[in-house]
Amino acid sequence: MKLILLGAPGAGKGTVAKQLTAIDGSVQISTGDILRGAVQAGTDLGKEAEAYMKRGDLVPDSLIMGIMEKRLQEPDCQKGFLLDGFPRTIPQAEALRDLLGKLSIKLDLAVNIDVPKDVILDRLCTRRTCSNSACQAIYNVKSNPPTQEGICDKCGSPVIQRDDETEEAISHRLATYNEKTAPLVGFYEKEGLLRTITGTSSDIVVNAIKDELGI
């Protein structure tokens, strides 16, 4: 399947993407995970992106398109891909449309995961992430804590609160989402690709996507 997952930070895009990869081997492509990996590795990309990310600002479109042009042409994308956190601006969506046209790739759907704002806020404040950039497993101090406090069940690395998940950065990220990313809903509606799914459980969202795709 070839999907874009839209939705505010904390809507559950990453969790839904992980569940969908298990269905047909499509790969999850999270620009946030790629950028956090680059910051941890101290690459030029990471150095350029770090300050934007810490503030909860978007990284410039040119950097993101550079990443995605390469990533979408890697062989594992041939089985399908789930774009998680990309595109995030209208210029990124337009550049993606051009890129996919050039590569003769057709998207199945852009899925807008719609979750009430109070649920989003609560999730972001209580979310914890594995600090190992190759893992980045997600936990929640209330609903899904690691078995041993502060230690990732999957790889044993420390589980941390992300720099951009302080109260200040979260409110900035949500404002940025409303200003820059929410207009993508209208963009994909015009393209005839949009499906909005309202639900706070990833199982409900995954089942609705499977129904839409007839799988």
**Residue of 36, 123, 128, 162 marked active site:** 162
Q: Catalytic: 123?
A: no
- The reply to whether 165 sits near ligand AMP by the rule CB under 6 A is no
Nearest residue to ligand AMP, scored by beta-carbon proximity? 32
CB of residue 172 to ligand AMP, shortest distance in Å: 9
Q: Catalytic: 173?
A: yes
Q: Tell me whether residue 48 or residue 213 sits nearer to ligand AMP (CB atom).
A: 48
Q: Tell me whether residue 54 or residue 148 sits nearer to ligand AMP (CB atom).
A: 54
Q: How far apart are CA 22 and CA 39, in angstroms?
A: 28
Span from 28-36, 96-104, 139-147, 189-197 in contact with ligand AMP (CB under 6 A): 28-36
CA 208 to chain centre: 18
> What end-to-end distance do the CA atoms of the chain give, in Å?
10
Which is nearest to 194 in space by CA: 214, 173, 212? 212
Neighbours of 68 (CB within 10 A): 20
**Residue of 36, 123, 127, 195 marked active site:** 127
Interacting positions 38-67 with ligand AMP (CB under 6 A): 52-53, 56-59, 64
Amino acid (1-letter code) at residue 124: L
Structure tokens at 27: 């790969």
Interacting positions 85-114 with ligand AMP (CB under 6 A): 85-88, 92
Q: How far apart are CA 64 and CA 59, in angstroms?
A: 7
Active site residues: 13, 88, 127, 162, 173
